[in-house]
Amino acid sequence: MNRRDSPPVALGHSRDAVLVAPDKFKGCMSATEVAHALARGLDHVAPATPVDVCPVADGGDGLLDALIGAGFRSVPVSATGPTGQPVESAFVEKDGVAVVELADVAGLQRLPGGRPAPLTASSAGTGQVMRAALDAGCDTLVVGVGGSASTDGGAGMLAGLGARLLDESGQELPAGGAALLDVHRVDLTQLHPRLAEVALVVACDVDNPLLGPSGAAAVYGPQKGANDADIELLERALSRWADVLGTATGTQVASEPGAGAAGGVAFAAMCLGARTRPGIELVLELAQFDRRLERARLVITGEGSLDTQTLRGKAPAGVAAAAARQGVPVIAVAGRNLLDADELRTAGFLAVHALTDLEPDVQRCIEIAPALLEQVSARIAADLGAVSETRP
């Protein structure tokens, strides 16, 4: 279902805007950069067609950028990276809602030199940024948990919020998942007091439990540099942590879907009463996407690679599902497309444009991606029959 074998988009006239809502092209362009490149191409060919730019994300890296594009304000925060180094991060806020992106402060991208630390990496910085958002007086606190560098069960996050993790002799534990083998007690008396007052939400796109063969260590540990011995150690440590934190909070959520997200950060948040929601669903809600659809005659979405992961609740699929509920057609733009026509149709895409169809050399495609995106969206505008429109 490429552009060359897709018919021109037939649209009515009760809606006049094109809603541009892509995710990032990972390692190439942010969602905001992609959205503006697409908007420029539309404007070149159809300058009188209103374009509504709404970058999106699925809850992992790029979440803050997407919400800034949706009108949220960025608040800088100094915090601790996954291996203890200082980092400059932020939360974003609007109308009492604060959003923290774990990947921005404690994610794989924050590992110095890209060197993994599977046993000692910590989620402490996430808790520190959450603390700053609580200090600022938010009413709802959202934590996007994709892209974690650690498998510490959210112990670091709790420490960043004021908890103390103690061994049998009453000494505080060092950072990282491996240290949880020695956890004896967790003291929650100094947790930030506003945690009990806010609505705590985890943006999570996986359904893994904390423990077991589909748990945090077994499934995601290798991505964070863990070998077989590390995974076995982390599994025992997380099991110990689940017992101790479960006792302290009176909860039993380790087996709940999503508890294993971000190395167990979701588990710790759930022990504090957080509810989990799909990342793209939450982002679309915060961006008031349904209201913006009311004026849209077409939606353009996309991401770097359209593949089977897209079909499992990634941002473009979420955008297509939301648009389908209002009967608005959706065209996808991607760096590459690995889905067949049936998969694209099932996902709700009327057509797909892959940049590699224009420039097969992948490295060259990445280098000139902004120009290719403009070229693609100009073609989409021409297919809309808007070539003759002029700006009023």
- For residues 342-347, give the mean pLDDT: 94
d(CA 63, CA 57): 5
Say which residue the tokens 């240290």 belong to. Answer: 179
Identify whether the C-beta of residue 209 lies closer than 8 Å to the C-beta of residue 263: no
Tell whether the model's pLDDT for residue 203 goes beyond 70.
Answer: yes
What pLDDT sits at residue 1? 40
CATH superfamily of 3-56+288-383: Glycerate kinase; domain 1 (3.40.50.10350)
pLDDT of 237-263, one tens digit each? Answer: 999 999 999 999 999 999 999 999 999
Helix (H, G, I), strand (E, B) or coil at 162: coil
What residues have CB less than 8 Å from 166, skipping those under 6 apart? 172, 173, 183, 184, 185, 186, 187
d(CA 49, CA 42): 8
Identify whether the C-beta of residue 141 lies closer than 8 Å to the C-beta of residue 133: yes
Domain ranges for the chain: 3-56+288-383, 63-280
CATH superfamily of 63-280: Glycerate kinase, domain 2 (3.90.1510.10)
- The model carries a pTM of 0.89
Least confident of 13-22, 246-255, 376-385: 13-22
What pLDDT sits at residue 60? 86
Nearest CA-CA partner of 32 in 335, 355, 370, 279 = 370
- For residues 75-94, give the mean pLDDT: 98
Least confident of 55-64, 245-254, 378-387: 378-387
pLDDT of 19-54, one tens digit each? Answer: 999 999 988 999 999 999 999 999 999 999 999 999
Q: Where are the beta strands (DSSP E) in the chain?
A: 17-20, 51-53, 73-80, 86-94, 97-101, 140-144, 164-166, 185-187, 199-203, 275-277, 296-306, 330-337, 351-354
d(CA 227, CA 22): 35
Tell whether the model's pLDDT for residue 2 goes beyond 50.
Answer: no
Nearest CA-CA partner of 13 in 45, 43, 49 = 49
